Structure 1
Amino acid sequence: MKRRDFMQMSGFGIGALMLPSVPVLGSIVSSEHLLEPGVDVAIKKKFADIALNAARGKGATYTDVRIGRYLQQYVFTREKQVQNIVNAESYGVGIRVIANGTWGFSATSDVTPEGIAKCAETAVAIAKANSKFQKEPVVLAPQKGVGEVTWKTPVKKNAFEIPPKEKIDLLMKVNARAMENGAGFVTSNLFFINEQKYFASSDGSYIDQDIHRIWPTFTVTAIDKAAGKFKTRDAISSPMGMGYEYLDGLASEKIAGPNGLVGYRNSYDMVEDAITAAKQAKEKLTTKSVLPGKYDLVLDPNHLGLTIHESVGHPTELDRVLGYEANYAGTSFATLDKWESKKFNYGSKNVNIVADRLQPHTLGAVGYDDEGVPAKEWNIIKDGILVNYQAIRDQAKIIGEKESHGCCYADNWDSVQFQRMPNISLKPGTEKRSVLDMIKGVEKGIYIIGRGSYSIDQQRYNFQFGGQVFYEIKKGEIVGMLDDVAYQSNTQEFWNSCSQLCDKDDYRTFGSFFDGKGQPSQVSAVSHGSATTRFDGVNVINTARKI
């Protein structure tokens, strides 16, 4: 990167520092530039063929090419101020090959016939150099070429076509309503991503995909100046694989809960949630602190999704299981011997967890992964037993699979694709049961909503999770709000305490928009679905008490 580009990106990207781990890829551009059409698909095919032919000519036995245009728009505000708008574009080609039984990869932003051919030749040279140290040849699970196909996120409104003023007006309204209802401070943000990806391989696939994601979020803070206290509440939103219709009510689907609490599915009323958040943050200033002990927990999907992500999603990634992935957040306790036994109780018989890239509107929904494998669904945990992992083409043989699971991904054209988490979701219960029905059966418990602070060990086993809002349950009724709540458990103990699930009418998704993995670090987006779920006898601590 040139110094001029670095200085420009540093200035424009400073708003991204408002949230942790917010990547800005590529060059800063205008919002109008984001609407310019990409390269015609016929030209992409010609470019791909140049790479395939050049790699084969240098001795590659397998080649795949990714021509990618990655667009981002982030909008940051605080109270009455727009802090920043970031528009970014990244465009280039990544070429991966197998030569002498070894992987090689190279990437270039020189998207010309000459630049692409040179890039392919470099990838082969790298593979051959690496082969001197390769102990066993790479073996790919077979994948039949799919020919020329396309796939698009089914958006009704392309978020990049919505004028920035309309987005700013929405966030200003969110901030204003939060302030009117008790917030002392409020920040609100919108994140939009569009991946225009073209994949081609020597297997005979030419796949053009147009993928959209959206994430609206905010944080409100209520202050008690006299007591010197403050409390916050984050948005109860979920990032989605949708267009701007997620925010305009066209797909409105609200789910009522106890005490008027509302969940959202396939739509999100950001203003309504901001008003509720401000009131709840203000109420938290005077609410009582939790008494530590054992409680039955009723966990809302917007909260449970993060627990699923950390305690099931990451530990069933096969590269973590094998120890290939260790430096970024550790390995996994769910080792191969547990899977091979076919009787490892990951959870109770109520726990059925699936990996799924087919569910509409989710962050992981695509037509094909970054190895050209069609999206699919498969079981991870069935009736509480660990039955499978997440595997890509060069891993499938390790667990006796005849084909890849289709969960390979790279976050940019210049990144190497590797195993990434697909949507990992807990199936809802089959018996008709609402949140109120579940609460009626709880003698002593806590109802938890929203994602809070969390911690988990390097094998994804011992953990602690907080939340946004907590309600005390006594003798089947909510009796008031609690604060300073977190629960501690280990993965196997926690999932074996799962006793009840609401049915499909309560099913919703939570999402991670910037999930990190790998070195060099990459981010991906993934959803986790569930209905409200009960866990019995979980240890709850008070996070405000000093030990």
Structure 2
Amino acid sequence: MKRRDFIYLSGLGAGALMLPGLPSLGNPIDQSAALESVDVRIKKELADAALNAARAKGASYADVRIGRYLNQAIITRENRVLNVGSGESYGVGIRVLANGCWGFAATNDMTKEGMAKTAAKAVAVAKANAKIGGKPVELAPQKGYGEVSWKTPIEKNAFEVPIKEKVDLLLNANGIAMGAGASFVNSILFAVNEQKYFASTDGSYIDQDVHRIYPTFTISKVNQELGSFESIRGSSSPKGLGYEYLNASEAEKVPGIVTRYKNRYDLLEDVKQMSRVATEKVTSKSVEPGKYDLVLDPSHLWLTIHESVGHPTELDRVLGYEANYAGTSFLTLDKWRSKTFKFGSEHVNIVGDKLQYGSLGAVGYDDEGVKCGKWDIIKDGILVNYQAIRDQAHIIGLKESQGCCYAQSWSDVQFQRMPNVSLQPGKTPLSVDDMIKNVEKGVYIIGDGSFSIDQQRYNFQFGGQMFYEIKEGKIVGMLNDVAYQANTQEFWNSCAAVCDERDYRMGGSFNDGKGQPSQSSAVSHGASTTLFKGVNVINTKRKIG
């Protein structure tokens, strides 16, 4: 089953490489071809061919993932377009259990014969693995759902929007920044559509249409007199939404010292705002090291949650099965079994959630055909659960998987990946202004920056984008060169207050790396602005001489 021939839109290929942390675009494709879909009846026939072949070769279980992955990147700098490209990747991954072991094979030969041949190869791999020995795989029970579907609740497909309209928007944003005194500016719009079909011997045939979008920009401002420069990114977050994300009403704006956004975003207004902030930042004073109370905006806190909560509660890291991309986890099973391990203060309530509207990780079913949901990980500060998939569930006494299995493409085997992991809002009404009024000496941090964390996800350091000094309950000016250091347990136990749900927002990672060979996934982390008491702040300014 061949797709139409590719065309180049404007030097496709190199453009994707200019996006740090973003995947390659796949085979180039005309944008209009992205609007074509594969008939679900054809996908079911192909899946059945694979399942039947796997059974015939001796598989006790098999699942089939037919995936069509569409990507589009538009990259600009100042008054010119650097790259525009649309790409497609289309094929199937087949996973089987035979003789108690996993086997996997993938192909882009999208015929019934190709399916049968690839299924047979997966079974052969499983049987070869079984000769090595080891404990047989134990899968949590999973009922079949029959023929079902799920789609990201978008209002406007980003691939339907003319490329010229998107390019004009980005160049308009760049022009605003340059007109406001920026020395350099670049802007990017990245869109993803995953058309995923899952079928298994459990009796599920699941068709899903998943959309994500990420508009972003970076402004750099040079101070010739001081011989210094600063760069600052926009206030957007990647989202599991359509192009409607780029149309923010007043209700979606969170006012404050800078405007933040919920599930909609105003690119042009944000460029104006960040141009002003960049000018302010380049002349801001350097922080004095010491102990400070930290008021952390969700646009910053999402990354701290990701690294210090999300990754260490991945069960494969806890068990030592996974150590790539920064190690295993200090949250060993004995801490969970004790039922008393004090991960954080009583204000810390963290959940895993695969269904949250607008989140990057939102899907109806994971890549094992498990219906997704929500569960507690940290409850009133106590570690109560992890993130698990079907062959891990029995280890922590679960009767079913939590739906945390994902593969970045049809050609990669699915494995345990992070759901949306979020800090729940405070239950008592509390605004950001009211929180700041009670801080004598503090730093208000907005936006994520650099970070470092050890191989057990325990000792860490985080920077940010914008820093504001708080004295006697008031913001008195902008700071620079700020980072804070702590260990995970100490930090979360210093949590003294969380703003209520009115302030709740999500940040996220469009491409979170894990595994070897590495795979990336998209995940969001929600929070309201949160107060942490007495955290060690350092000055990161590099001194010469």
Q: Same fold (TM over 0.5)?
A: yes
Which position in structure 2 is the counterpart of 1:518? Answer: 515
Equivalenced residue count is 540
How much does 1:19 deviate?
Answer: 2.9
Which position in structure 2 is the counterpart of 1:438? Answer: 435
Distance in structure 1 (CA, Å) of the matches to 2:540 and 2:181: 24
Structure 2 letter corresponding to 1:351: V
Which position in structure 2 is the counterpart of 1:494? Answer: 491
Distance in structure 1 (CA, Å) of the matches to 2:324 and 2:539: 31
Structure 2 letter corresponding to 1:167: K
Structure 1 letter corresponding to 2:532: F
Preserved contact between residue 428 and residue 530 of structure 1 (Cα < 8 Å): yes
Preserved contact between residue 13 and residue 25 of structure 2 (Cα < 8 Å): no
Distance in structure 1 (CA, Å) of the matches to 2:282 and 2:243: 34
Which position in structure 1 is the counterpart of 2:12? Answer: 12
Preserved contact between residue 182 and residue 278 of structure 1 (Cα < 8 Å): yes
Matched, 1:101 2:100: yes
Which position in structure 1 is the counterpart of 2:197? Answer: 198
Deviations 1:196-245 (A, max 9, x none): 00000000000000000011111100111232211111111111110000
1:402 to 1:9, Cα distance in 2 relative to 1, 3 A:
farther
How much does 1:46 deviate?
Answer: 0.7
Distance in structure 2 (CA, Å) of the matches to 1:503 and 1:227: 42
TM-score in terms of structure 1 length: 0.97
Which position in structure 1 is the counterpart of 2:416? Answer: 419
Query: What are the within-5 Å matches in structure 2 for residues 168-247 of structure 1?
Result: 168-247=167-246
1:316 to 1:9, Cα distance in 2 relative to 1, 3 A:
farther
Mean Cα deviation higher: 435-444 or 37-46 = 37-46
How much does 1:11 deviate?
Answer: 5.7
Preserved contact between residue 234 and residue 270 of structure 2 (Cα < 8 Å): yes
Matched, 1:471 2:468: yes
How much does 1:12 deviate?
Answer: 2.1
Q: SS in structure 2 opposite 1:232?
A: strand
Structure 1 letter corresponding to 2:128: A
Structure 2 letter corresponding to 1:18: M
How much does 1:541 deviate?
Answer: 0.3
Query: What are the within-5 Å matches in structure 2 for residues 95-494 of structure 1?
Result: 95-249=94-248, 253-257=252-256, 259=257, 261-494=258-491
Preserved contact between residue 245 and residue 251 of structure 1 (Cα < 8 Å): no
Which position in structure 2 is the counterpart of 1:532? Answer: 529
Which position in structure 2 is the counterpart of 1:38? Answer: 37
Structure 2 letter corresponding to 1:159: A
Mean Cα deviation higher: 295-304 or 331-340 = 331-340
How much does 1:9 deviate?
Answer: 12
How much does 1:328 deviate?
Answer: 2.6
Distance in structure 2 (CA, Å) of the matches to 1:48 and 1:15: 34
How much does 1:251 deviate?
Answer: 8.9
Q: SS in structure 1 opposite 2:67?
A: strand
Q: SS in structure 2 opposite 1:458?
A: coil
Which position in structure 2 is the counterpart of 1:70? Answer: 69
Unaligned runs of 5+ in 2: none
How much does 1:382 deviate?
Answer: 0.3
Deviations 1:358-413 (A, max 9, x none): 11111111110000000110100000011110000000001111100001000100
Q: SS in structure 2 opposite 1:451?
A: strand
How much does 1:250 deviate?
Answer: 6.1
Structure 1 letter corresponding to 2:33: H
Deviations 1:338-363 (A, max 9, x none): 11111111100100000001111111
Structure 2 letter corresponding to 1:69: R
Distance in structure 1 (CA, Å) of the matches to 2:26 and 2:190: 16
Distance in structure 2 (CA, Å) of the matches to 1:98 and 1:273: 51
Preserved contact between residue 434 and residue 506 of structure 1 (Cα < 8 Å): yes
Distance in structure 2 (CA, Å) of the matches to 1:480 and 1:389: 41
Distance in structure 1 (CA, Å) of the matches to 2:20 and 2:457: 22
Q: SS in structure 2 opposite 1:450?
A: strand
Distance in structure 2 (CA, Å) of the matches to 1:283 and 1:479: 13
Q: SS in structure 2 opposite 1:350?
A: coil
Q: SS in structure 2 opposite 1:479?
A: strand
Structure 1 letter corresponding to 2:220: T
Pairwise CA RMSD: 1.7
Residue identity over aligned pairs, in percent, reads 68
Distance in structure 2 (CA, Å) of the matches to 1:174 and 1:317: 39
Q: SS in structure 2 opposite 1:381?
A: strand
Matched, 1:49 2:48: yes
Q: SS in structure 1 opposite 2:532?
A: strand
Distance in structure 2 (CA, Å) of the matches to 1:224 and 1:251: 34
Structure 2 letter corresponding to 1:288: K
